[in-house]
Amino acid sequence: MAANTAFVIVGAGLAGARAAQTLREEGFDGPIVLLGEENERPYERPPLSKGYLLGKDERDSVYVHPPQWYAEHDVDLRLGTTVTAIDPAAHEVTLADGSRIGYAKLLLTTGSSPRRLPVPGADLDSVHYLRRLADSDRIKESFESASRVVVIGAGWIGLETAAAARAAGVEVTVLEMAELPLLRVLGREVSQIFADLHTDHGVDLRFGEQVAEITGNGGRANGVLLADGSRITADAVIVGVGITPNTQLADAAGLEVDNGIRVDADLRTSHPDIYAAGDVAGAFHPLFGKHIRVEHWANAVNQPQVAAKAMLGQDVTYDRVPYFFTDQYDLGMEYTGYVEPDAYDQVVFRGRRDTREFIAFWLAEGRVLAGMNVNVWDVTDPIRDLVTSGRAVDAKELADTGVPLTHLLRRSDGTG
């Protein structure tokens, strides 16, 4: 292989696979090497806590591309291959077996890893984290035999897993340190809706709880000991306390790292021939005027397309508004926008909260920062337009389902 013409991608997840695809779509005909430490070809993770965990989606449906796609597009996919170092000066990466691969351009799509719970017993059997396909398999299996599970952490993963456990007929206790689920992401007004949703489905939600220990018997978890001395018995414990970006390689190579690998709006790192995208990248966002790191599916689909084009020398900028979705029980929602905790001064609801069919908008000084549509569909585009317009809207009109969202946008433009 003509090493110095190769585009090497480290991390064969969704972002890595999308980058390889874009490079070929854009006409790059040089070598592409896609290196992944997992033994699975690139797959999508959202089904692992939803359809796949529920047993509704087939395993085959989670993969980004069919197996033959890589050979057909001359993408040298190497699975079970861990990159242990980057040498930016030599333009080489080192693999776990000591061999080296040279690159002309390098893309880091190393994603993120679940944060570990720093308490005794966290490594017992039947304590589960959820990131990989095999994790989802193990959790699904535990639902078959468990009568009660404890979920630690009421974030997206914890809540989706709780919903799947309830669907499997398992008793669920969710333990959360904060006062409400998803409090930092959604704020009090909307977090309460998720708390009610789970309570209505029979989940025992407990807030302000600190886990002191996961207790076990014969190497298997049998419950949780709380800081106040109380105990909860469980056949399995699922931990969802957040993720940390896999920045170790970038750090060791001297690249700038600050809540993710720091990249410009064209997704280039502090080294001119190295790029980063997906969960691991903290990218400068022109709309928000700062670096943000987005741990969501849509970002892992779209950002690598821009990174690939930038690697090919195109003049590109990643300026998409963050977007994510969740499905829990009969609630489906999409969230468009970006709000830091406490950065909003008003939440406006449009629609019916009692039947969980509404849009919630987070506003600051009358401007829409984000919108979340719950069981209301085909509104992502106008919500995104409201966010990007940066114009103040009338809160009363925003709440009025009789006023079309597109109409509000025209008014905020001064054209309505």
| Residue from 13, 187, 216, 260 in contact with ligand FAD (CB under 6 A) | 13
- Per CB under 6 A, contacts with ligand FAD among 259-288 are 278-279
- The answer to whether 26 and 18 are in contact (CB under 8 A) is no
Strands (E), 26-182: 32-35, 75-78, 83-87, 92-95, 100-102, 105-108, 112-114, 127-129, 148-152, 171-176
Q: How far is the CB of 131 from ligand FAD (least distance, A)?
A: 5
Q: How far apart are CA 238 and CA 243, in angstroms?
A: 14
Amino acid at 32: I
Q: How far is the CB of 132 from ligand FAD (least distance, A)?
A: 8
Collapsed DSSP state (helix, strand, coil) of residue 136 = helix
Collapsed DSSP state (helix, strand, coil) of residue 96 = coil
Q: CA angle, corner 172, sides to 171 and 178, nearest 5?
A: 160
Q: How far is the CB of 151 from ligand FAD (least distance, A)?
A: 13
Q: How far apart are CA 347 and CA 32, in angstroms?
A: 47
- Cβ distance to ligand FAD smaller for residue 83 or 409: 83
Count interface residues toward ligand FAD (CB under 6 A): 36
Determine if 35 is a binding residue for ligand FAD (CB under 6 A): yes
Other C-beta atoms closer than 10 Å to the C-beta of 220 total 12
What mask of x and - would describe binding to ligand FAD in positions 61 to 90, judged by CB under 6 A?
---------------------xx-------
Q: How far apart are CA 340 and CA 239, in angstroms?
A: 24
Q: How far is the CB of 143 from ligand FAD (least distance, A)?
A: 15
CB under 6 A: which stretch of 6-14, 177-185, 386-394, 403-411 binds ligand FAD? 6-14
- Cβ distance to ligand FAD smaller for residue 18 or 232: 18
What mask of x and - would describe binding to ligand FAD in positions 345 to 384, judged by CB under 6 A?
----------------------------------------
Q: At 300, which helix (H) or strand (E)?
A: helix 297-311
Q: How far is the CB of 326 from ligand FAD (least distance, A)?
A: 5
| Residue from 22, 109, 126, 191 in contact with ligand FAD (CB under 6 A) | 109
Q: How far is the CB of 38 from ligand FAD (least distance, A)?
A: 4
- Cβ distance to ligand FAD smaller for residue 295 or 385: 295
Q: How far apart are CA 298 and CA 155, in angstroms?
A: 18
- The answer to whether 102 and 6 are in contact (CB under 8 A) is yes
Determine if 247 is a binding residue for ligand FAD (CB under 6 A): no
Counting every residue written for the chain, the total comes to 416
Instruction: List residues binding ligand FAD (CB under 6 A).
Output: 10-16, 35-38, 45-46, 48-49, 82-83, 109-112, 130-131, 157, 246, 249, 278-279, 295-298, 300, 324-326
